[in-house]
Amino acid sequence: MSLQKLRIGLVCPYGWDTPGGVQNHVRDLAEYLIAKGHYVSVLAPVINESAIPDYVVSAGKPISIPYNGAVARVLFGPIAFSRVRHWISDGNFDLLHLHEPAIPSISLLACWAAEGPLVGTFHAAAKRQKAIFAIGPILEPVIEKLTARIAVSEAARETLTEHLETDAVVVPNGIYADLYRDGEVRAEWSGNTLGFIGRYEEPRKGLSVLLEALPIIARFAPDVRVIVAGPGDSQDVRDEIDPQLRHRFEFLGRITEKEKADFLSSVALYIAPNTGGESFGIILAEALAGGAAVVASDIPAFDSLLGGGEYGALFQSENPQELAKVVIDLLRDADKRKSLAQRGKVYAQRFDWDVVAEDIFSIYEMALVGGKGVTLSSENRAWNRFLGREGN
């Protein structure tokens, strides 16, 4: 990375202390850039202001709105806008990096208020969003201020082209591939095991699809077991499981990074039956890096992350029969499973933060050419030009 030390402002649209892929991405990126010696300030909505790291500046408490099939905790309004303006004018930034600037959030407000080198990252991959179509003409002049656009996947890029008629460079979300490279195989998790990681109580994570597929799988693989890791109240979920299948389930609760690495090395297949609302699918990148053979639903984000099935098997989303078919096929054919996992592991290196952050930084450098730092947006620049003054 370059020796030049920058002052970088990152804007995270979603509540900092609520779990989510975008928040994790912003946090990791901020910490990576700080470790490289840059000055980084993150502006984000925050619920509990006493528990944030010192590089985060609170923009206020987020409000919950339904968005993209899930509840988004975002923030906007006049008070937030004035905080955004203060943050920009006090920060004296060389560059702003706005995440998800096309949704009503402080990212959009920052894009509105700022001028200079602006980079925007688009995370969402959603087809046919009528809301965006409706406000497209209003967004257009704001979004076109961005010097450079990044999409986290091909699917996100298509969404962007479709809705806002603008192109983007694809840079994926990052993972710390090192953490998952050398997991140990644990006997209690190996065998004909299906792994699942995530907040399994949320319907969109699709555990119910796996539940429906399980009786069919069990007919062909009598010793199949499902191991579920992630926070949640397992008793509620357990009660809903057919008593005949209950003994096949094991709930681990929240696991550590080390356990996650071992988990991914041990399970026969990693299953991601998500039904939607996924912007990138970072867990799949981690599963691949951990050497697991992956079976995932064919929602746009997963399809593009798995290279259309090249690095992990896909099944039609919300179709338990097809999930069962794919799983049985792979459980029976160990060679096929191993070669799939091997291809995936090599491929997953491109999601490592060292690669991803380098790509993002190279885009920063390009955005900085000819810029003189970030300032509050001036609506007078055209007048300056008409009056013959040297405007910028």
Partner 1 sequence: MEKFLSIALVVIFIIWYLSYSATRLDRLHHRVETSWANLDGLLQRRAAVALEIAKSDIADPASALLLTAAAHQARDAQMQTRSQAESGLSGALGLLLNDGHLVDGYIEKDLLRELSELTDKIRVAIAMHVDAVTRTQMVRKKPVFRIFRLAGSAPLPVTYEFEADVL
Which residues here bind partner 1, judged by CB under 8 A? Answer: 115, 141, 144-145, 147-149, 165-169, 362-363, 366, 369-371, 378-383, 385-386, 391-392
Q: How many CA atoms lie within 13 A of 346 on its CB side?
A: 7
C-beta of 187 vs 369, nearer to partner 1: 369
Are 281 and 301 in contact by the 8 Å Cβ rule? The answer is: yes
C-beta of 92 vs 380, nearer to partner 1: 380
In angstroms, what is the minimal distance from the CB of 91 to partner 1?
20
Are 171 and 362 in contact by the 8 Å Cβ rule? The answer is: no
In angstroms, what is the minimal distance from the CB of 369 to partner 1?
4
Indicate the SS3 state at residue 308: helix
C-beta of 144 vs 257, nearer to partner 1: 144
In angstroms, what is the minimal distance from the CB of 143 to partner 1?
10
C-beta of 283 vs 367, nearer to partner 1: 367
Handedness of CA 18, 19, 22, 27 (dihedral sign): positive
CA dist., res. 344 & res. 285, Å (int): 9
In angstroms, what is the minimal distance from the CB of 76 to partner 1?
20
C-beta of 107 vs 147, nearer to partner 1: 147
In angstroms, what is the minimal distance from the CB of 141 to partner 1?
5
- Residue 375 has a CB neighbour count (10 Å cut-off) of 15
C-beta of 51 vs 382, nearer to partner 1: 382
Residue 358 identity: E
CA dist., res. 73 & res. 18, Å (int): 8
C-beta of 19 vs 391, nearer to partner 1: 391
Query: Phi and psi (nearest 5°) for 19?
Result: -70, 145
CB-based contacts of 141: which residues, under 8 Å, 6+ apart?
Answer: none
Q: Is 192 exposed, middle or buried (0-12, 13-18, 19+ CB in 10 A)?
A: middle
In angstroms, what is the minimal distance from the CB of 391 to partner 1?
7
In angstroms, what is the minimal distance from the CB of 379 to partner 1?
5
